[in-house]
């Protein structure tokens, strides 16, 4: 299995979107990109960490490029440190690469995606650091709490796929 790590606002919605992708074997919500060791959800604001999902995938069934296509569809990458009503550095748009190959693919994907947006994409592409798994109540949160929602565009993405909202 290969890994990919993405930040695109609230991790609840990102997780739900990637769980619907064929070839994805595991999605874990967590934190990455900051200086704090073993952060909790309450520690994240101001820590430099982003809410992320770590995606494990079978590269014979889904490519990294396809995972990046999902990334661009489920949020607005032109908003700096914000997605919908969620504001703060922890909600930034970021691709954390795990290899030089992923970095190259991500940079090309960003350049290609820019053609779809009139404003500049602010997504950062940086080397993956230590991943900290979020608390258990955050894992698969939207499935456990169907009355809740996330401001990223996961429902539109799932509707286009014919998947469950």
Which one of the listed residues 10, 74, 106, 142 is annotated catalytic? 10
How far is residue 46's CA from residue 56's CA, in Å, rounded to a whole number?
28
C-alpha–C-alpha distance, residues 13 and 154, integer Å: 6
Question: With contact defined as beta carbons under 8 Å apart, do 115 and 75 qualify?
Answer: no
- Cβ atoms of residues 95 and 123 within 8 Å: yes
Residue recorded with tokens 């798994």? 133
- 11-19 and 64-73 helices cross at what angle (nearest 10)? 130
What angle (nearest 5°) sits at the alpha carbon of residue 14, between those of residues 12 and 20?
Answer: 105
Is 150 part of the annotated catalytic residue set? no
Give dist(CA 159, CA 150) in Å, integer. 15
| DSSP strands (E only) in 9-153 | 24-32, 50-57, 82-83, 86-87, 93-97, 124-127, 132-133
> Which residues are part of the catalytic machinery?
10
């Amino acid at each position: 299995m290969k890994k990919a790590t993405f930040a695109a606002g609230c991790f609840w919605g990102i997780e739900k979107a990637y769980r619907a992708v064929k070839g994805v074997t595991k999605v874990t919500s967590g934190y990455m990109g900051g200086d704090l060791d073993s952060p909790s959800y309450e520690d994240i604001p101001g820590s430099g960490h982003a809410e992320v999902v770590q995606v494990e995938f079978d590269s014979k069934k889904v490519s990294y490029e396809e995972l990046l296509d999902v990334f661009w569809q489920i949020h607005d990458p032109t908003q700096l440190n914000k997605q919908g009503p969620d504001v703060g550095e922890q909600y930034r748009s970021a691709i954390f690469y795990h290899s030089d190959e992923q970095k190259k693919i991500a940079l090309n994907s960003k350049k290609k995606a820019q053609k779809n947006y009139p404003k500049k994409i602010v997504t950062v592409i940086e080397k993956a650091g230590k991943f900290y798994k979020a608390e258990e109540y955050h894992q698969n949160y939207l499935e456990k709490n169907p009355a809740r929602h996330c401001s990223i565009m996961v429902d539109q993405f799932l509707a286009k796929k014919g998947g469950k909202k």
